[in-house]
Chain A
């Protein structure tokens, strides 16, 4: 089955740029979805596909992918961005896969 991997944690100072990566075999050919989950809350989709954002999600959130790596970029990080971030991918057949999640800490 398809496997995606994420680094467990990323730390960034307010106002700086955070980059969260998701690794998988030829993930650049797949549509990657990114979810934000704050403690005690349900996940919220923040970016999907070719860098599309649901309504209400700030432009500070963007995504890209190439080869075996997909990246979620959060510009001008704010304290309210502190959360767990998950990538999700459909394997193209009958399985949906999540990365293990990356905890973003705002210093």
Chain B
């Protein structure tokens, strides 16, 4: 059974940094592309970033490009999202998700990031 467990969320001041982790079990992580998706309070889903199975390609939403970095350590079955220069509008639940074909097939439970002074 696939399990995706996010961690690292919390409260951070504007301009600060935070790194999220996603521990993956039940699958061989190296076989799958992975995504980060976020959801601001009371709002819809917003795709954030994607990384190919071997880490060779990475893509970002325009809203986070240049500030966020997605990475992975397949040997540790872990996905990461390094977030810098955080803004209030980055406040959201962040989900890690496994790719399925051209879409998203399986979601974690999410971790809340709050950017506030």
A and B: bona fide binding partners: yes
Binding site for B on A (CB under 8 A): 1, 30-33, 35, 37, 42-45, 48-49, 54, 84, 86, 88-90, 94-101
The residues of A that contact B109 with a CB separation of less than 8 Å are 42
CB distance A96 to B47 under 8 Å? Answer: yes
The residues of B that contact A30 with a CB separation of less than 8 Å are 102
CB distance A45 to B45 under 8 Å? Answer: no
Cβ distance B17 to chain A, nearest Cβ, rounded Å:
25
Among B37, B61, B106, the residue within 8 A (CB) of A95 is B61
CB distance A44 to B107 under 8 Å? Answer: yes
Q: Is B100 an interface residue (CB 8 A)?
A: yes
B interface, size bucket: 20 to 34
CB distance A95 to B95 under 8 Å? Answer: no
Specify the chain B residue showing the minimal Cβ separation from A41. Answer: B109
CB distance A45 to B104 under 8 Å? Answer: yes
- In the assembly, what is the distance between CA of A95 and CA of B60, in Å? 8
CB distance A42 to B50 under 8 Å? Answer: no
Binding site for A on B (CB under 8 A): 35, 37, 44-47, 50, 59, 61-62, 95, 100-110
CB distance B59 to A42 under 8 Å? Answer: no
CB distance B105 to A45 under 8 Å? Answer: yes
CB distance A98 to B45 under 8 Å? Answer: yes
CB distance A48 to B61 under 8 Å? Answer: no
- In the assembly, what is the distance between CA of A35 and CA of B104, in Å? 9
Please list the 10 inter-chain residue pairs (A to B) with the smallest Cβ-Cβ separation, ordered nearest first. Answer: A33-B103, A90-B102, A96-B47, A94-B59, A98-B45, A101-B44, A42-B107, A31-B102, A100-B44, A42-B109
Specify the chain A residue showing the minimal Cβ separation from B45. Answer: A98
- In the assembly, what is the distance between CA of A33 and CA of B101, in Å? 10
The residues of A that contact B47 with a CB separation of less than 8 Å are 88, 95-98
Specify the chain B residue showing the minimal Cβ separation from A30. Answer: B102
Cβ distance A20 to chain B, nearest Cβ, rounded Å:
14
The residues of B that contact A101 with a CB separation of less than 8 Å are 44-45
The residues of A that contact B108 with a CB separation of less than 8 Å are 42
Most buried by B among A43, A88, A90, A96: A96
Specify the chain B residue showing the minimal Cβ separation from A101. Answer: B44
